[in-house]
Structure 1
Amino acid sequence: MARLPDLEALAVFAKVVELRGFSAAATELGMSKATVSKAVSRLETRLGARLVNRTSRRLALTDAGQRLAERAARILAEGEAAEDEALSQSQVPRGVVRLAVPMSFGLAEVAPILPDFLKAYPEVRVELHLSDARVDLVGEGFDMALRIGALPDSSLVARRLRPVAARTVGAPAYFQAHGRPTHPARLADHACLGYAYLPNPETWRFSNRAGEEVSVRAAGPLCANNGDALVAAALAGVGVAVLPDFVVDDLIAEGRLEAILSDWTPPVGGLHLVQPPGGPRPARVEALAAFLVRALSRRA
């Protein structure tokens, strides 16, 4: 099996030649003089040739040492340049960041603010993945995700940005035709529009300020894996839906949807920024995370 070159010893030798002495090289490298001497001796043993004639007065290179010195200097310079470039990459936001966001929230609140980030960091490219399906951040190679609702225990690093409330809504025309339920249990008599990614889409849970809890079987003509599809059905008078505030609050203000059961609320969730464990993170990832925290926590 091929042996890797002793790059450390070559770099130490190059520094000894550059500074014309073991002591000067040791000081420059933050090593002991003995460590520097051993590195050069190790290189000589590996190459089977003496590189330096050690005298008390000055450094004297052998013929083999003179031939190797120039190449060792190039290796040291290339190594230093590679480290400088990598350090620059880690300090200056640049490169690709992969971000996963729920579809409706991404369209409503993330897509409109991303241009501000991209203008501030022109060397960063964001790959925005819009889907209500919960992605595997580590397995699918995402740098971060925004998630809504209660988070299960996991190794992911999570930061809560703000609460997200849920509203029970329907079109005015639907309530005129079918009545307006005044208790969650009455929803069993109504057409309910289900969200497919709930743990149990056909069971809706509510609680009130008195601490009472109610579960109701919510059956209906449509179950979808995206909130916008449920909004369209609710607006058309197909049935009643439970949807997050950022999806329906404007429609309620416009009178196109009506909120019911104001004394009963579905489980309150939150908006979270989640990232894989570990660190430190590249500057581009830290920059986007900080931007999202600032921009999306304002209404917390």
Structure 2
Amino acid sequence: MKKAGFVALIGEPNAGKSTLLNHFVGSKVSIVTHKVQTTRTKIRGIVIENNSQIVFVDTPGLFKPRRRLDRAMVAAAWGGAADADVIVLLIEANRGVTDGVEKIVGDLSRSSEDRMVVLAINKIDKVKSPALLSLTKQMNELFDFSKTFLISADRGFGAKDLKIWLADKMPDGPWFYPDDQIADLPLRMIAAEITREKLTLRLHQELPYQLTVETENWVEKKDGSVKVDQIIYVSRGGHKGIILGNRGETIKAISIAARVELEAFIGKRVHLFCQIKVREKWLNEAERYTEMGLDFNDGN
């Protein structure tokens, strides 16, 4: 009998949720950078394990929100958890029980009800065994987890055991998606996320958090290639110059990197054109949130 269900990956920013999702799927469907809060919306990665289809929801990191966008991202994270059959809380072994982890555990105690909550302690290669055992004990005293897994999402250690366990816990029922589909996200949004990742990796300090990328047009051409027009919205005129770079070299490098990755993802030649627009108040425009897959009203 087939099984199918949803698993929400939650945790603080940079806990390794996107890395784990990409490892499970076997392909890159979620942004992974060294910067925090790079995942903004709920990204669904689809995994087949034996007779089970697991729909993993990679949620934005849970943190103390300061702006409307922050509040919408946190609401999206908890929304993903609310819809899941199983919740996986990822924490970093090398950071231990932070204030943020304690808050998440407290919120889980009030909201998880009768759903299974699994603890996945990530980055175990960064600490020694005694500290790991102590952290495991401490976390299970804070919350009654259904199961605890010790993993390294980056290296893949322990991830297979977690996936097999989750597959077994999925409810009986037909699969939600075709067996060859690996993500539930429109290609336009995937393309925008790829470009935003390249911007995040290339730019420094706070600028990546002051921009968003939208795919304005996606045109399938007769020769089998795809023409993609994107707009990069920034909140200040000075940001536009930084992204352009000297003689346009920065935006050219970003566009090439994004195009190469998008071509690999869709298996087609891509003609990518990026335009930069200054919109001082884009963070308060409902349309921008819709394009990011977020609810504008959740930011109130």
Q: Give the TM interval when normalised to the shorter protein.
A: under 0.3
* TM-score, reference length from structure 2: 0.21
* TM-score, reference length from structure 1: 0.21
